[in-house]
């Protein structure tokens, strides 16, 4: 890997780190915010979920902004949103100001979740694109883990303002870093700045044959006439959108954020004695999430996207089925805690090398350059809507159906995911972005 490309990917991946940190940090902070601002249950729930509403709004517009203003400027803007939102939240004098700050953070997450993988995917040479976009997911998991650690460390003093405020540190690094990063070569060609685009291609490849081939494909891909949302009326683009949206929703409805947001609650349901033990167990799960993403970084460009998806989602199914059986079988109740911890480690570990990174990777690969921003925006927006729905209704589902049936539903959705991948998802390993085809049909250029 050329160090220069890795550096570009690492700076952009800070958008992922902030995504993970800012979605994770609230779970610990809310305990103290609730007390300080005397919030009831409903107000607390809203303080938690307002960030997801911001994500939906941010993701909805980010693609258009990235197609108009460029990938670099959009990511820079996301950094400014993260910074502003963190400061406003940390200094909030009442719940209304806090809600405003958290909404701005949410919009920042929405923006970065579209444009960070998009930027990385467009600068990356085809042979290592999978690893570099997986770096973005790795950064998300580091952010989530950092949030747990910060919450844990600051809990004794109830320092929720610091918990929320510490997000400014990576935000400053992201903004400062992006000031020095180049525009994506593909976007430069789209703007008609071929000379500059060629220079950037040369800097990422250092091999003139590859550059030439890539330049030809990019220029050819820009011949598409229709560029706005109406382009998706074309059957093959519609299919690409179906695949992008489908993957984005399946990533959420197979239940990942019940574990990420409600892990300690699940451990308590499984009989863990103290809140402290539950939080410790959650930190173990967070570490597994982080470490197992490395498997994707190493293997996704070697074995390909689809094999990792089959293995990973298969493993998630086994773990969820085990949870469903364990919660339904009363004579297992003594060992429920151990089964829950084991299953959740297996579940998260399998997600971490499959649906986690590969969904972001694929949705950054499916759409042709003229409509890539919009295609990613719609897919990412669906991901956040799925996230919102699952996290809003998880506790209600557990209350009305019981834990066993709830996990059984997620397990069944893993089977749907495997069938969906088999039927519709293209293998994009080592393909030039411009050569990706969906369900055997070339996307029109
Ligand atoms: C998902 C998030 C999830 C995270 C967990 C991401 O790929 O989009 O919703 O919280 O992975 O690592």
Distance CA(315)–CA(73), nearest Å, equals 39
**Cβ proximity of 102 and 54 under 8 Å:** yes
pLDDT at 293 over 60: yes
Ligand 1 pocket mutation, candidates 26, 244, 256, criterion most atoms within 8 A of CB = 256
> Where are the alpha helices (H) located in 70-207, listed in sequence order?
71-90, 95-123, 129-155, 160-165, 168-180, 185-191, 194-205
Contacts of 442 (CB under 8 A, 6+ apart): 236
Query: What are 353-405's pLDDT values in tens digits?
Result: 999 999 999 999 999 999 999 999 999 999 999 999 999 889 889 999 999 99
Which pTM was predicted? Answer: 0.95
* Cβ of residue 137 lying under 6 Å from some atom of ligand 1: yes
Q: Which of ligand 1's atoms lies nearest the C-alpha of 23?
A: 10
What's the confidence (pLDDT) of residue 190?
A: 93
What's the confidence (pLDDT) of residue 37?
A: 96
* Cβ of residue 217 lying under 6 Å from some atom of ligand 1: no
Q: How far is the CA of 256 from the centre of ligand 1 (A)?
A: 7
> Where are the alpha helices (H) located in 158-302, listed in sequence order?
160-165, 168-180, 185-191, 194-205, 208-221, 235-253, 256-269, 275-299
Query: What are 40-84's pLDDT values in tens digits?
Result: 988 988 999 999 999 999 999 999 999 999 999 999 999 999 999
Radius of gyration of the chain (CA): 21
What is the chain's mean pLDDT, rounded?
A: 93
What are the contacts of 196-205 at 24+ separation with CB within 8 A?
Answer: 200/123, 203/4, 204/2, 204/4, 204/5, 204/8, 204/123, 204/124, 204/125, 205/2, 205/125
* Cβ of residue 257 lying under 6 Å from some atom of ligand 1: yes
Which residue lies with its CA nearest to atom 12 of ligand 1?
141
**Cβ proximity of 233 and 219 under 8 Å:** no
Distance CA(122)–CA(119), nearest Å, equals 5
């Amino acid at each position: 890997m050329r160090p220069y490309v890795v550096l570009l990917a690492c700076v952009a991946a800070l958008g992922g780190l902030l995504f993970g940190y800012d979605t994770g940090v609230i779970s610990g902070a809310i305990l103290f915010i609730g007390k300080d601002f005397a919030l009831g249950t409903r107000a607390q729930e809203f303080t938690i979920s307002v960030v997801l509403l911001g994500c939906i709004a941010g993701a909805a517009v980010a693609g258009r902004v990235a197609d108009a203003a460029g990938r670099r400027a959009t990511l820079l803007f996301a950094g400014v949103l993260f910074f502003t939102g963190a400061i406003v939240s940390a200094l909030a004098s009442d719940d209304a100001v806090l809600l405003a700050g958290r909404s701005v953070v949410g919009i920042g997450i929405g923006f970065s979740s579209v444009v960070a993988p998009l930027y990385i995917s467009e600068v990356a040479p085809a042979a290592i694109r999978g690893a570099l976009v997986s770096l973005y997911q790795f950064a998300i998991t580091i952010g989530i883990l950092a949030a747990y650690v910060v919450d844990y460390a600051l809990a004794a003093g109830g320092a929720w303002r610091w918990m929320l405020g510490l997000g400014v540190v990576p935000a400053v690094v992201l903004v400062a870093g992006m000031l020095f990063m180049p525009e994506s070569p593909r976007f430069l060609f789209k703007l008609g700045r071929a000379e500059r685009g060629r220079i950037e291609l040369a800097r990422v490849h250092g091999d003139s044959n590859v550059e030439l081939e890539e330049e030809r494909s990019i220029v050819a891909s820009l011949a598409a006439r229709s560029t706005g949302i109406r382009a998706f009326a074309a059957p093959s683009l519609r299919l690409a959108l179906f695949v992008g949206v489908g993957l984005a929703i399946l990533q959420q409805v197979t239940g990942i954020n019940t574990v990420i947001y409600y892990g300690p609650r699940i451990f308590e349901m499984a009989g863990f004695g103290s809140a402290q033990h539950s939080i410790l167990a959650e930190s173990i799960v967070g570490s597994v999430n982080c470490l197992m993403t490395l498997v994707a970084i190493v293997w996704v460009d070697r074995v390909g996207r689809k094999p990792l998806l089959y293995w990973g989602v298969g493993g998630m199914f086994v773990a969820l089925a085990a949870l469903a059986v364990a919660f339904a079988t009363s004579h297992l109740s003594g060992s429920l805690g151990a089964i829950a911890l084991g299953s959740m480690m297996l579940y998260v570990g399998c997600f971490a090398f499959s649906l986690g990174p590969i969904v972001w990777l694929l949705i950054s690969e499916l759409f042709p350059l003229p409509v890539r921003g919009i295609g990613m925006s719609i897919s990412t927006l669906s991901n956040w809507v799925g996230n919102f729905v699952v996290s809003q209704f998880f506790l209600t589902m557990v209350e009305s159906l019981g834990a066993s049936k709830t996990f059984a539903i997620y397990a069944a959705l893993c089977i749907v995911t495997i069938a969906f991948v088999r039927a519709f998802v293209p293998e994009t390993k080592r393909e030039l972005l411009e050569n990706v085809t969906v369900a055997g049909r070339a996307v029109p250029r």
